[in-house]
């Protein structure tokens, strides 16, 4: 019995004085750049992770060079006190440029999120990173999708802003047309590139507009009445189509909308991950089908 308590006490001491002690068997792998002097592990402080929890990544040498490389040096900060909201009507969308890791190994730089195979780390010290990313081409076989909230968050309709999604990640349903949606396997092959940006709307004089239409994709029941929504489909090329008052499907260009999950809407409080629990912000006046470009 005394040996058991001795072992427990030793582990507690190690956890206190060796903050990078990793007790989990699952470690996400990311790439280090060719010629980097980094070792086999990257220890990332909590301030540089979206969950505000320190993580350890396994480093590998599998980065493949690309034609559209971007090299940058940045301080990684994910402290919520540094985040800000741009007010969009009564809804707040986070649009601040930041650089940080997610717990599953994505790297955010500016407003873009990069999968582990799309970047490599040259150096990392005290939260300062030098990295290389492969900028997306946003072509038909690899769409770029504007996500209204940061990854790990969805639109909270009660607080009118982006909030943590309770551990569920928003994953869009992609369609080839208005009736056929991709299977999970087909979608996984596409792996959309996510950008945390609101729609780029403009007034007729060319100045930036913050007037957006918001359409929840789930009907809202109020007492005995049900408020219907507008049918919408996110296509695999990254554009959005909706069924207009003209009785035909109209297209919204990629830069004129953002889409995300939603929670605390009507009777449904937690984010379910269902396709109906999504919301679209766009530059479209759906009742006239006019687009503010």
Nearest to 177 by CA among 280, 248, 273, 272: 248
Compute the radius of gyration of the chain from its Cα atoms: 22
Domain ranges of the chain: 26-134, 144-291
- Please say if the pLDDT value at position 83 is more than 50: no
What Å distances lie between residue 145 and 56, 80, 186, CA to CA? Answer: 28, 24, 17
Per-residue pLDDT at 73: 94
> What pTM was estimated for this model as a whole?
0.82
**Between residues 287 and 53, the one the model is more confident about:** 53
Looking at residue 2, what is its pLDDT? 54
Whether 114 contacts 28, CB under 8 Å: no
DSSP 184: H
pLDDT score of 12 more than 50: no
Question: What is d(CA 281, CA 86) in angstroms, rounded to the nearest whole number?
Answer: 14
| Strand pairing category for 144-146 and 193-195 | parallel
Find out whether 284 and 291 touch, Cβ atoms under 8 Å: yes
Average pLDDT over residues 68-89: 68
The stretches of the chain forming alpha helices (DSSP H) are 2-17, 184-190
Cα 210 vs. chain centroid, distance in angstroms? Answer: 21
Q: Hey, what are 169's tokens? A: 């990640």
């Amino acid at each position: 019995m005394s040996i058991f308590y001795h072992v427990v006490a030793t582990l507690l001491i190690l956890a206190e004085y060796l903050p990078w002690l990793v007790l989990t068997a699952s470690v996400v792998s990311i790439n280090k750049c060719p010629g980097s002097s980094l070792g086999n592990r990257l220890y990332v402080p909590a301030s540089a992770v979206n969950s505000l929890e320190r993580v350890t990544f396994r480093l590998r040498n599998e980065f493949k060079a690309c034609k559209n490389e971007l090299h940058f040096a940045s301080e990684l900060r994910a402290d919520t006190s540094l985040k800000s909201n741009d007010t969009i009507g009564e809804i707040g969308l986070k649009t601040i440029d930041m650089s940080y890791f997610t717990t599953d190994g994505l790297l955010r730089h500016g407003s873009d999120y990069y999968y582990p195979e799309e970047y490599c780390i040259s150096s990392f010290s005290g939260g300062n990173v030098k990295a290389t990313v492969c900028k997306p081409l946003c072509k038909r076989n690899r769409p770029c999708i504007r996500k209204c909230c940061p990854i790990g968050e969805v639109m909270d309709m009660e607080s009118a802003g982006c909030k943590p999604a309770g551990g569920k990640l928003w994953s869009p349903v992609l369609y080839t047309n208005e009736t056929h949606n991709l299977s999970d396997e087909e979608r996984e092959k596409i792996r959309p590139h996510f950008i945390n940006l609101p729609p780029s709307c403009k007034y007729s004089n060319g100045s930036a507009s913050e007037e957006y239409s918001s359409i929840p994709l789930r009907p809202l029941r109020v007492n005995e009445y049900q408020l219907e929504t507008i049918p919408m489909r996110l296509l695999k090329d990254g554009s959005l189509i909706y069924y207009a008052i003209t009785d035909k499907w109209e297209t919204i260009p990629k830069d004129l909308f953002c889409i995300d999950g939603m929670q605390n809407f009507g009777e449904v409080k937690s984010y379910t991950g269902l396709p109906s629990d999504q919301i679209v912000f766009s530059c479209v006046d759906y009742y006239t089908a006019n687009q503010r470009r």
